[in-house]
Amino acid sequence: MTPLIDPFGRAISYLRLSVTDRCDFRCTYCMAEHMQFLPKRDLLTLEELDRLCTAFIGLGTRKLRITGGEPLVRKNIMTLFRALSRHLASGALEELTLTTNGSQLARFAAELANCGVRRVNVSLDTLDEAKFAEITRWGRLPQVLDGIAAARAAGLRVKINAVALKNFNENELFTLVEWCAAQGHDLTFIEVMPMGELGDALRLDQYWPLTDLRARLAERYSLAPLPERTGGPASYVRLRETGQKVGFITPLTHNFCESCNRVRVTCTGELFLCLGQEDMADLRAPLRGSTDDADLVAAIRAAIGRKPKGHDFDYSRAQVTGSLRRTMSHTGG
């Protein structure tokens, strides 16, 4: 089939698929403490998720990331990983990965490796147990650290994703860097994004620009910029003193949209063309309307044909603009 090319000539080869809106944490920048989750009937079944992914792979998707919510809390989720592994075996798919909070990794790391997963991203904003409980509301740090250890034991490469939060983990910058270096993990810092019913004042209070974070790193380490891209929005440096790779995802201080090669599908089949825009296409209807994939493929192509050039996230001293009311857990990161 003809591959997916958006109106700006970007080949769409990376799908981020949310398999659930549920999570066993309630991170303050991601979710409300008392969430109203979707009824089961609204979610795509595991078979429908497999069919959807297979359609995208047939259209040129080479990298597939499973997200949530927390993807590993979805009942029987390994059924989907086992099904998708056939595309790795055939060579149609280059990489199958997931982003997780790490809480369930001790249970599933070995089976994920057996399904062809080679690396995972683990969200971890602090190594302080009390602060971890505060930021996640429901999470326990030892459980996550045990999960990370299990992933390493299973042969999975672990990348730590840390959201940069002003007045929260600023004083742990070097602690996180040095811990990741000692453990052999790559590390990516992410600017907090204006999504969900959090209130603009809270967003402004949390916002720690990565230009500042990077400058602080440069006070202690020699930062060597790396030219590589991994199919995502991060830019990378290598710290000469430790040899580790550190990434920066900067949707606010540096708009990375010019190289965007990805789209996101929610657990209900909503295809979001941009993390920072509300426009979406319904893929659940063509999935359930026919056992033939022609309508599904047509809906995907039509949606990619209106993918926007970029998002509008912005912070100023007084207000947040470009903010969205849907939560990050709804879109799948």
Contact at 8 Å (CB) between 19 and 131?
A: no
Q: What is the pTM of this model?
A: 0.88
In this predicted model, what pLDDT tens digit does every residue of 163-188 receive, in sequence order?
Answer: 999 999 999 999 999 999 999 999 99
| Per-residue pLDDT reduced to its tens digit, 209-246 | 999 999 999 999 999 999 876 555 788 999 999 999 99
User: Alpha helix locations (H) across the chain?
Assistant: 46-58, 77-90, 105-114, 129-136, 141-153, 173-183, 200-206, 210-220, 284-289, 294-304, 328-331
pLDDT of residue 185: 96
Residue 134's alpha-carbon distances to 103, 190, 215, 328, in angstroms, are: 16, 19, 27, 19
Instruction: Report domain extents, the chain.
Output: 14-331
Question: What was the pLDDT predicted at 311?
Answer: 53
Q: How confident is the model at residue 31, as a pLDDT?
A: 80
CB count within 10 Å of CB 127 equals 19
Q: How far apart are CA 235 and CA 222, in angstroms?
A: 16
Q: Is 277 left (phi over 0), alpha (psi -120 to 50) or beta?
A: beta
Cis peptide before 332 (omega within 30 of 0): no
* 262-265 and 270-272 strand pairing: antiparallel
- Average model confidence (pLDDT) across the chain: 88
- In eight-state DSSP terms, residue 10 is -
Q: Would you say 192 and 207 are in contact if contact means Cβ atoms under 8 Å apart?
A: yes
| CA-CA-CA-CA dihedral for 150, 152, 154, 156, to nearest 10 | 130
> CA 239 to CA 56: how far, in whole Å?
37
Confidence (pLDDT) at 234 = 81
pLDDT of residue 324: 45
Question: Which pLDDT value is given to residue 260?
Answer: 83
DSSP letter for each residue of 34-66: S--PPPGGGSPPHHHHHHHHHHHHHTT--EEEE
Distance CA 206, CA 185 (A): 25
pLDDT confidence of residue 98: 97
pLDDT at 274: 85
What SS3 state is found at 174?
A: helix
Say which CATH superfamily domain 14-331 falls into: Aldolase class I (3.20.20.70)
Q: Could you say which residues of the chain have pLDDT below 50?
A: 195-202, 313-324, 326
Q: What is the pLDDT of residue 276?
A: 64
Q: β-pairing, 245-249 with 186-191?
A: parallel
Output the pLDDT for position 316: 47
Give the sign of the dihedral formed by CA 277, CA 26, CA 96, CA 214.
Answer: positive
- Backbone phi and psi for residue 146, each to the nearest 5 degrees, phi listed first: -65, -40
Handedness of CA 290, 295, 299, 300 (dihedral sign): positive
